[in-house]
Structure 1
């Protein structure tokens, strides 16, 4: 599910930028109050059995919390966690609202624009800075300092995305990371060592050719590797080749030679299959219920860590391995993710209560429970690297790649630049556009967008 979610998330970033101009308001109580067996029928969050009572001087407060888990195991888990939180904090009642992913972003931006946003909201990590800049969410520095809260418990790449100027404006919830999955059975059939996956681009292209199986019609029965499958993308290959698409000042660098080399390599690998064969294969793959790797139709694929969860569920007997993504100059992979943010509803009491819930949801104990249910790569390293999880060599390798992971840059002048870059790549791989011309045109387009943006500021 999360593999599909990221591709959609890139499309809704433009919607999320609406939040930049939004500030919270009344923060009306919305959704259901999570109740534990110890709470009374009114859902006040106060216990009946005397085990926990509000501390003297702590007036009851009600806050709202929105997230993307509208059904299934994670919805049940979230409700159970909130009930546990209210048992520990009998002065705080949490009104929970889980909205399905596809509707969440529009509803959240609309609510915040109308002054009825939640007190605590799950949000997209990559666009946090726009909300911080506009004042739509709170700077957490005072809370962090008051409680001596240790932000070093989180993966560095994630906590860095929470920063704007000198403040921290959220705490990361969970993330993902891309790795190379390879079919060990297919390796043996191709006389390749199943314990030696490809380490660089030359080996990846060589292995792909050996692992590809064609049928009698010269169409692809099993593809060795395709840069058009999975979650690899040009920007990541460019990073691995020493390239980049934006400099430190936010200026476009699409036409860097390292970027061109990466795009040319993608075209070289893809051209070996031919447009007709790839079109037929993509049609077949799109009809599959799961990843073509799970179905045995792809011998190698770059994909998110959640593919591992799918393999365990749908293909537990698959003999496979995981490895770092092959590179030329430097290890590289990329991440996306979610975080929790306290909406600026101009209510100090509710903000303080939301902070308590935020600490709870990102604590090692809670994050371990979330991983156990969802299999997701949680943000708290004490949870993600718990000994019982790291005993699994596949998980250990996946977590280790966070050391090399980056987030896609959020560029206010061109918030959907990465989705547009994907279209550029498709024009090269499928329509025969010259790679150099494609990047030159993309560079001009990015420069125009930046110029227009600057003129509006």
Structure 2
């Protein structure tokens, strides 16, 4: 499954709402699963039959419209089999979510169960905000533990505890077949190597008569405007080279010669006008989603939406091209679900978590939202929904993400600044990476 670099909790700072990670776009069918079949998996009789009514507060960050009805349907189904547990679900846009959650924790009014972005967990785990679910898992001998893909389960573990259950998504390569044809490329053959990816990007870009870029060959994020997550496509490129932008001790490495080489390659695309600046596009969402890029590393849950909005015959999806060492590592992100340590209803909160991640219930959630089931028992069913899902599951066999580090928010902040300085020509890539890596080190040393 995933490489070592994905194991353990993935880092970040919930209080640093300026560095929140969004999860991207999606596919849709808002039906939810059979409550009776889902509820059977490991539900505690004590909680289900409790005579004392309980209300659970559940918060979920949403970045796609399908998430709201899908998570609320889980709440409705749960209440049918747990009549004395009422679930109040609050969905909040990603742009506002982490600030509101931080305020709730600061005021002691945090929800019982809530989602967390892939980079938001570890810096607050050591503050004691989240419940270690291992005692609950062991007490119930929860069958979901063995059904989870092992490394997806490990993604939510820290210092021997389990603090989050991951709803994963990966970033395979997607391309516009019609743009490939237009450029004289085989529409059914994406770039096979890292070098081909850059060569194709140059062939696929378009400019108008004045020289202005009207289509990016490759969708990369060039700006920090609106907290754009420029580290994500950058990390997709680093992973293909066996790199990350910091090491397992939380030291920034994006100024290493190997990382600077990647920055130079991406900056050359920008300088040669093969990439469009987001600031010039005036659109919501990624350039690829708006038909302004020919290739990109798109969220797995956006593929269904893309085929619907653009046309199944125009979209191709595959594993990333092989990097210099032959690796085809995909970026993996997602949303963790966790329980507040100070929840007044820990057993009931755990019952909700088990219900949400039970096979039938989660399959319907995945079907509605496009997120990937983390359960091995659901792989064949999910793959049967479409060819894209086969690529998604294949990508999870070699996926990487943010390394565990409480320095994540600091390092990411300066990486974004460095990338923007390089792309906009404010500094050479070498100088931009060096200056900002040093600033990150200085800030980390003051913690």
- Which TM class, normalised by the smaller chain length? 0.7 to 0.9
Query: How many correspondences in the alignment?
Result: 403
The yes-or-no answer on 1:309 pairing with 2:304 is yes
Taking the TM superposition and a 5 Å limit, the aligned residue runs for 1:265-284 are 265-273=265-273, 278=276, 282=278
3-state SS in 2 of match to 1:431: coil
Which residue in 2 is equivalent to 1:345? 342
Deviation at 1:259, TM superposition (A): 0.7
For residues 54 and 302 of structure 1, the distance between their equivalents in structure 2, rounded to whole angstroms, comes to: 43
Contact kept in structure 1, 2:417 and 2:436, CA below 8 Å: no
Aligned residues: CA RMSD: 3.2
Question: Are residue 118 (structure 1) and residue 82 (structure 2) matched?
Answer: no
1:437 aligns with 2:431: yes
Corresponding residue SS for 1:339: strand
Q: What secondary structure sits across from 1:420 in the alignment?
A: helix
1:373-392 to 2 correspondences below 5 Å: 373-383=368-378, 385-387=379-381, 389-390=383-384, 392=386
- Cα contact 2:14–2:124 (8 A) shared by 1: no
Whether 2:195 is the aligned partner of 1:202: answer yes
From the CA coordinates, give the structure whose radius of gyration is larger: 1
For residues 337 and 220 of structure 1, do their structure 2 counterparts lie closer, same or farther at Cα, with a shift above 3 Å needed?
same
Quote the residue 2:158 is aligned against: 164
Give structure 1 stretches of 5+ with no counterpart: 1-9, 19-37, 39-51
- Using the TM superposition, give the Cα deviation of residue 220 of structure 1 relative to its aligned residue in structure 2, in angstroms: 3.1
Q: 1:260 to 1:17 in 2, by over 3 A?
A: closer
Shift of residue 192 of structure 1?
Answer: 1.9
Whole-angstrom CA distance in 2 between matches of 1:164 and 1:17: 24
Deviating 4+ runs (over 6 angstroms): 52-57
Structure 2 residue aligned with 1:325, among 296, 311, 320?
Answer: 320
Deviation at 1:294, TM superposition (A): 4.8
Alignment partners' CA distance in 1, 2:252 and 2:108: 36
Closer, same or farther: CA 315–437 of 1 in aligned 2, 3 Å:
same
Q: Report Cα offsets for 1:256-313 as digits up to 9, x if no partner.
A: 2211211121122222227xx845xx455324x6654355432222221233133233
TM-score after normalising by structure 1: 0.78
Q: TM-score, normalised on structure 2? A: 0.79
Q: Tell me, yes or no, if the aligned pair for 2:115 and 2:335 is still in contact at 8 Å.
A: yes
Q: Which structure would you say has the larger RCO, counting Cα contacts within 8 Å and 6 or more residues apart?
A: 2
Counterparts of 1:380 and 1:68, CA distance in 2:
22
What does 1:10-409 correspond to in 2, within 5 Å? 13-15=14-16, 59-68=52-61, 73-149=66-142, 150-172=144-166, 174-228=167-221, 233-273=233-273, 278=276, 282=278, 285-287=281-283, 291-316=286-311, 318-326=313-321, 327-329=323-325, 330-345=327-342, 347=344, 350-383=345-378, 385-387=379-381, 389-390=383-384, 392-409=386-403
